[in-house]
Structure formats: C-alpha cells, structure tokens
C-alpha cells in the first residue's frame, strides 16, 4: 500500500472504479480512458512499481494475472485481445503500480 498511489486508492475503495473482477490478490477494472471498446487492467493488490521491480517471489502472482486475462476477456465477449505492460517512463508507464492492460473489441487493432 502506497498512500500516494492512485491504484492503491482504487484497491482500498477510496476512488471509485468500474470493477469487473476481484479476489484477495488481484483487482481488475476498466480503464478510465479506454483505447478500445473493451479496455481493462489487471492490477495486483500488492503495490509493486512496475514489472522491473518484480522478482521470483512474484512469479505465481504474475502467472495468475496472465491466466486471468483470457478468462476475463472471454467474459467481456472478446474473441481475441491484446495485452500490454508499460514499464518505466521510457516504456510509457504513467501509473507506477504494476498493471496489465487488456484491449479488444475493435474491428482491427493496430499492428505493432
Ligand atoms: P500506463 O500508461 O500503462 O501507466 O497506464 C495507466 C492507465 O491508467 C491509463 O490508461 C489511464 O487511463 C488509467 N487510469 C488512470 N487513472 C485511472 C482511474 N482512476 N481509473 C481507471 N483507470 C485509470
Ligand atoms: Zn499502488
């Protein structure tokens, strides 16, 4: 828990979110500025700044989040989806609490 972190505030319930899944380790909510018809983020409840701050002790949690992505994408009606993890300022990260973006539902996602 980091008092200045917007995602920690969402996890605590101090800031509202459009939550689509929650368990004791992970919360998943819609992005406030969606880049596709479906755009949600998987967020660990443990405050970790980024993927670059993870280590072997987080392996199970990271695996759990990745395995949740296709389940939740299917629940949201997606046939396919894109995942993205921005890491560090140079990687386009703006919120420094690890999160996995999931996008889909557009007729075509741009090629990367
Ligand atoms: P990133 O650039 O990967 O750090 O992405 C941060 C994402 O968090 C952006 O897509 C924002 O639109 C999203 N975001 C920021 N504040 C909120 C919020 N209060 N609720 C939902 N999504 C948010
Ligand atoms: Zn946080």
What class does CATH assign to 6-104? Answer: alpha beta
Half-sphere exposure of residue 101: CA atoms within 13 angstroms, side-chain side: 19
- Does pLDDT of 50 surpass 70? yes
Q: Cα angle at 86 between 15 and 40, to 5 degrees?
A: 45
pTM value > 0.75: yes
Residue ranges of the domains in the chain? 6-104
For residue 60, give the 3-state DSSP assignment: helix
Residue 31 CA: which ligand 1 atom is closest? Answer: 22
Question: What pairing do the DSSP bridges indicate for beta strands 38-44 and 100-104?
Answer: antiparallel
The arithmetic mean of pLDDT across residues 96-111, rounded, is 87
Q: 99 catalytic, yes or no?
A: yes
Tell me the best of 94, 97, 100 to mutate to test the pocket of ligand 1, counting ligand atoms within 8 Å of each CB and taking the most.
94
- Does pLDDT of 112 surpass 80? no
């Amino acid at each position: 828990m980091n008092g200045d972190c917007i995602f920690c505030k969402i996890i605590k319930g101090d800031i509202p979110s459009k939550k689509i899944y929650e368990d004791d380790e992970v919360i998943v909510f819609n992005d406030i500025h969606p880049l596709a018809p479906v755009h949600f983020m998987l967020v660990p409840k443990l405050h970790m700044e980024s993927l670059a701050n993870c280590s072997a002790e987080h392996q199970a949690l990271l695996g759990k989040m990745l395995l949740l992505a296709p389940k939740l994408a299917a629940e949201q009606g997606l046939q396919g989806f894109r995942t993205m993890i921005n890491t560090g300022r140079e990687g386009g990260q703006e919120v420094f609490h690890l999160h996995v973006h999931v996008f889909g539902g557009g007729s075509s996602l741009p090629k990367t």
